[in-house]
Amino acid sequence: MFFKRLVKNDGVKRLQSKVNINSLQNKKDNNQKITMLTAYDYQFAKLIDEAEIDVILVGDSLGMVVLGYDTTLEVTLDDMIYHTQAVARGRENALLVADLPFMTYKTGNIAQTVKNAGQLIKTAKAEAVKLEGGREIVDEIAAVIRAGIPVMGHLGLTPQSVHQFGGFKVQGQTDAAAEKLIADALALEEAGVFALVLECISRDLAAKVTNQLSIPVIGIGAGRSCDGQVLVVHDMLGINNQFVPKFVREYDNLGEKVKKAIKTYKQDVEQGEFPTAGESFS
Ligand SMILES: Nc1nc(=O)c2c([nH]1)NC[C@@H]1CN(c3ccc(C(=O)N[C@@H](CCC(=O)O)C(=O)O)cc3)CN21
Ligand SMILES: CC(C)C(=O)C(=O)O
Ligand SMILES: [Mg+2]
């Protein structure tokens, strides 16, 4: 793979631009922001990679964004493998991270967790895995790391616990909850995670965590003090027609544009204006 890239392009520069966990750490150490977006298929992975985003996440948000579920809970390991394989074919330089979905870890069977994480690496070609949770899963995370798999942490609004939260709600709002989150973040760093996602917490709490940790902290709905930002790609492109969280900035309204193009196509066909002679064969 690396050799192929060296042959295909003119070598050293491309190899150096391959993002890895060390180059992400260097970005934090040099006060450079880290960019991350989700992708679920080959085409989006290719576009995001060509735009030089640092990290591509095959998020279990897949379930809601692409598969139409109401939560992420129904996503299976096979779903994650299938979509991560497609994404892996489209990306060259971005670091590829995949979520471990609900019930593939935290079940009390750490050996199974390691095997499931291993499948995302070995079968699906991810380079790291992301697990939701704090001190309750540090043993599990340590076991995955011992197997040679880099782990990204995820605290705050961890959507796999949606029923425990009673909905998708801002987290860490009381002093006790904020202290717990900070303690969890420190424990995750101690366990060896290479980066941490903070979702839907106050910008002040996110700033505190970012300052206390040496590893990169990547926020979603966590303010601008984080070392980097992540969004669901469909949200930032305006393709998501369900509820759009307040922390999303829509950089385009592709959903409307796609619908308009499709309507024009329908009109053209119905009025006999597509295809023309040039769009057919003699
Ligand atoms: N398309 C999409 N984008 C996401 O960011 C996303 C998903 N799906 N699925 C998994 C989770 C769920 N996420 C969500 C979903 C809803 C809110 C939300 O309703 N937030 C309210 C605050 C609610 C409250 O605290 O009372 C908001 O106004 O943003 C937040 C995050 C983030 N993740
Ligand atoms: C929003 C990000 C952090 C995520 O976990 C996902 O897309 O599943
Ligand atoms: Mg996720």
pLDDT at 243: 82
- Banded model confidence at residue 14, pLDDT cuts 50, 70, 90: low
- Banded model confidence at residue 3, pLDDT cuts 50, 70, 90: very low
pLDDT at 15: 54
Residues with C-beta less than 6 Å from any ligand 1 atom: 61, 64-65, 72, 157, 159, 168-170, 200, 232, 235, 240, 245-247
Same-domain status, 86 and 188: yes
Give tens-digit pLDDT for 109-166.
999 999 999 999 999 999 999 999 999 999 999 999 999 999 999 999 999 999 999 9
Q: Per the residue annotation, which of 74, 190, 199, 250 is the catalytic one?
A: 199
ipTM: 0.94
Q: Measuring from atom 23 of ligand 1, which residue has the nearest CA?
A: 169
Same-domain status, 63 and 87: yes
Same-domain status, 62 and 143: yes
Same-domain status, 62 and 155: yes
Q: Which two tokens stand for residue 162?
A: 């949606």
Same-domain status, 243 and 259: no
Same-domain status, 39 and 124: yes
Same-domain status, 204 and 156: yes
Question: In the chain, what percentage of residues exceed pLDDT 70?
Answer: 94
Same-domain status, 236 and 262: no
- Banded model confidence at residue 183, pLDDT cuts 50, 70, 90: very high
Asked if 120 and 80 touch (Cβ cutoff 8 Å), the reply is: yes
Q: Taking Cα atoms as reference points, which of 156, 169, 153, 152 lies closest to residue 206?
A: 156
Q: From CA 103, how far away is CA 239, in angstroms rounded?
A: 29
CATH number at residue 209: 3.20.20.60
pLDDT at 16: 56
pLDDT at 179: 98
- Banded model confidence at residue 61, pLDDT cuts 50, 70, 90: very high
pLDDT at 135: 98
Q: Which residues of 34-66 are buried (b: 16+ CB within 10 A; e: fewer)?
A: bbbbbbbbbebbbbbbeeebbbbbbbbbbbbbb
Same-domain status, 223 and 266: no
Same-domain status, 271 and 149: no
Query: What ligand is nearest to the CA atom of residue 55?
Result: 2
Q: From CA 124, how far away is CA 83, in angstroms rounded?
A: 8
Question: For the chain, what is the domain count?
Answer: 2
Asked if 222 and 204 touch (Cβ cutoff 8 Å), the reply is: no
pLDDT at 30: 98
**Residue 72: pLDDT over 80:** yes
Query: Crossing angle of helices 110-122/77-90, nearest 10°?
Result: 30
199 assigned to active site: yes
pLDDT at 158: 98
**Residue 242: pLDDT over 90:** no
Q: Which residues of 205-220 are buried (b: 16+ CB within 10 A; e: fewer)?
A: bbbbbbeebebbbbbb
Give tens-digit pLDDT for 48-58.
999 999 999 99
Residue ranges for the binding site?
60-61, 99, 130, 132
Same-domain status, 165 and 275: no
pLDDT at 218: 99
**Residue 269: pLDDT over 50:** yes
Question: In the chain, what percentage of residues exceed pLDDT 90?
Answer: 92
SS3 for the chain is CHHHHHHHCCCHHHHHHCCCHHHHHHHHHCCCCEEEEECCCHHHHHHHHHCCCCEEEECCCHHHHCCCCCCCCCCCHHHHHHHHHHHHHHCCCCEEEEECCCCCCCCCCHHHHHHHHHHHHHCCCCCEEECCECHHHHHHHHHHHHCCCCEEEEEECCHHHHHHHCCCCCECCCHHHHHHHHHHHHHHHHHCCCEEEEECECHHHHHHHHHHCCCCEEEECCCCCCCEEEECHHHHCCCCCCCCCCCCCCCCCHHHHHHHHHHHHHHHHHCCCCCCHHHCCC
Domain of 161 in residue numbering reads as 3-251
pTM: 0.94
Pocket probe for ligand 1: among 44, 66, 74, 168, the residue whose CB has the most ligand atoms within 8 Å is 168
Same-domain status, 243 and 276: no
pLDDT at 6: 46
